């Protein structure tokens, strides 16, 4: 009974944290470039890191959270190589600043390691090293956190799209949409999924997704979806 109560408490806490993230995104959707999914990954993870730092009880989890927090300034300043490798010339409280790659290895299996993996994937994505990015995003798919899974799936979609593997990109955009709760964010992933399907000639599925977005009528992607239907030569009802 105690374990069940603890699990329910944890689920409620994560739900509250995700609600904060959803509210932030909904309030700032117009400021987010529709093609900058890498930025979305970062926004998601800022909330994830705060959540884990606040709830960590075990020493290993606490250390992993602290290690990630020390890397955030590098990411915010677009110093992606430094974020990945760390800065051994500087010390904080007598400890070296280790990079995301080492955090993933050192704390393998700890929830925060999957957060670090998505951060690492995003850094490689920004450096246009798509194969490396895919490796780390896929590590993050072992996470149990829906927020981390959303970020990892979205990142994989971006990687495969940039590599022109549109079938794989569509698959991961669909996965990301399944983890996204706000309709506006879900529509974002559905739209990119539809674009990828359109590029591989699957017009029937693309049309269905465009119509789903239009039917939701809750995001800035409605107009883009209508334009998609026009491209496909179908009637907008």
85 contacts: CB under 8 Å, gap ≥ 6: 99, 101
Residue pair 48/114 in contact (Cβ under 8 Å)? The answer is: no
What is the distance between the alpha carbons of residues 6 and 12, in angstroms, rounded to a whole number? 10
Reported as type and span, the H/E element at residue 98 is strand 95-98
Nearest residue to 147 (alpha-carbon basis) of 39, 14, 23: 14
Nearest-CA neighbor of 189 among 178, 173, 202, 172? Answer: 173
At residue 45's C-alpha, the angle toward residues 42 and 46, to 5°, is 90
Segment 155-175 mean pLDDT: 95
Q: What is the DSSP string of 192-222?
A: HHHHHHHHTT-HHHHHHHHHHHHHH--STHH
When the pLDDT of each residue in the chain is averaged and rounded to a whole number, the result is 81
pTM above 0.75, yes or no: yes
pLDDT band (50, 70, 90) for residue 235 = confident
Residue written as tokens 């693309």?
206
**Cα–Cα distance measured from residue 6 to residue 174, given in angstroms and rounded to the nearest whole number:** 32
* pLDDT surpassing 60 at residue 38: no
Residue, of 185 and 19, whose pLDDT is higher:
185
The greatest distance separating any two alpha carbons of the chain, rounded to the nearest whole angstrom, comes to 66
In angstroms, the CA 154 to CA 141 distance is 11
d(CA 215, CA 194): 15
For the cut 80, the answer to whether the pLDDT of residue 94 exceeds it is no
- Please tell me whether residue 31 adopts helix, strand or coil conformation: helix
Tell me the two tokens of residue 50.
Answer: 């705060």
The 10s digit of each residue's pLDDT in 21-37 is 444 344 434 333 334 44
Q: Which of 66, 63, 85 is nearest to 74 (CA)?
A: 85
């Amino acid at each position: 009974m105690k374990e069940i109560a603890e699990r329910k408490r944890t689920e409620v806490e994560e739900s509250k944290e995700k609600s904060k993230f959803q509210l932030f995104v909904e309030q700032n959707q117009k400021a987010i470039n529709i093609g900058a999914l890498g930025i979305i990954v970062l926004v998601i993870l800022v909330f994830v890191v705060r959540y884990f730092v606040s709830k960590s009880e075990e020493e290993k989890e606490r250390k992993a959270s602290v290690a990630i927090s020390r890397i955030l300034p590098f990411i915010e300043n677009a110093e992606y190589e430094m974020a990945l490798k760390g800065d051994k010339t500087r010390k904080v409280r007598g400890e070296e600043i280790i990079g995301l790659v080492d955090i993933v290895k050192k704390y393998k299996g700890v929830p925060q390691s999957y957060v670090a993996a998505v951060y690492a994937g995003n850094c490689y994505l920004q450096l246009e090293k798509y194969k490396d990015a895919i490796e780390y995003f896929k590590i993050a798919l072992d996470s149990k956190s829906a927020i981390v899974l959303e970020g990892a799936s979205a990142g994989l979609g971006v990687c495969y799209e940039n590599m022109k593997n549109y079938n794989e990109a569509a698959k991961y955009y669909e996965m990301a949409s399944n983890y996204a709760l706000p309709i506006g964010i879900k529509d974002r992933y559905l739209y990119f999924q539809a674009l990828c399907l359109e590029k591989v000639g699957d017009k029937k599925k693309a049309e269905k997704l465009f119509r789903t977005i239009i039917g939701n009528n809750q995001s800035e992607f409605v107009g883009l979806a209508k334009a998609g239907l026009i491209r496909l030569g179908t009637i907008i009802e």
